[in-house]
Amino acid sequence: MAHVVIYTTKICPYCVRAKMLLQKKGVAFQEIDVSNDHEQRMKLVEITRQRTVPQIFINDRHIGGCDDLYALERQGALDPLLAQ
C-alpha cells in the first residue's frame, strides 16, 4: 500500500473531504496539522508552492489538493497510485 501524507488545518472543509475519500478507500494516511505550526506551513509552501490545504503526497509525490485528489479518482488514476 502507498505511503500517503496529507497536510491539513483544523477548520478546512476540503481537508475533511479529502480524508473522507481516503478513508472510504481504506487508505491509511499520515495527517500533519499545520494549523498552529508556522514553520511547518512555510516548509510546505516551499515544497509545493501552494498556500492552501490540504496538500497531499502519495509515495513522496505531490499530487495537489482535494480537487486534484478527486480528479484522479474520476480519471481512474487514484487506485493505481495507491496500489504502489
What homologous superfamily does CATH list for 4-83? Answer: Glutaredoxin (3.40.30.10)
Q: What is the pLDDT of residue 40?
A: 92
Q: Which helix (H) or strand (E) holds 79?
A: helix 78-83
Which residues in the chain come in under a pLDDT of 50?
none
User: What pLDDT, on the 0 to 100 scale, is given for residue 84?
Assistant: 86
What is the residue-wise DSSP string for 17-74? HHHHHHHHTT---EEEE-TT-HHHHHHHHHHHS--SS-EEEETTEEEESHHHHHHHHH
pLDDT at residue 72, as a whole number = 98
What is the predicted pLDDT for the residue at 15?
98
